[in-house]
Amino acid sequence: MKHVFLLKEIYLEAFRNWTHLFLKRYFKAFSVFCFFLIAVVIYAFIYRVATGFSF
């Protein structure tokens, strides 16, 4: 059990400084990707409505 706690402490110490920056960049990229996908869906819907597609 002591070995597990030691590994946990080593892991936390190693990644303590960069996790916040990594998560901030990851969520920023994810939000841009989601916004892009929503824009594609809105464009496709408007295109279908403008061309007279029957639902």
Structural domain spans, the chain: 2-50
What is the spatial distance between Cα 1 and Cα 52, in angstroms, rounded to a whole number?
A: 67
> Could you give the CA distance from residue 33 to residue 11 in angstroms, rounded to a whole number?
30
| Ramachandran area for residue 52 (φ above 0: left; ψ -120 to 50: alpha; else beta) | left
Q: Say what the pLDDT of residue 30 is.
A: 94
Query: Higher pLDDT residue, 36 or 25?
Result: 36
Q: How far apart (Å, rounded) are the C-alpha atoms in residues 31 and 29? A: 5
pLDDT in the model for residue 36: 98
Instruction: Give this prediction's pTM.
Output: 0.58
* Tokens encoding 24: 């901030």
pLDDT of residue 20: 75
Residues counted in the chain? 55
* 13 or 47: which leads in pLDDT: 47
Q: What is the pLDDT of residue 8?
A: 82
pLDDT digits (tens, 9 = 90+) for 14-31: 777 676 778 888 899 999
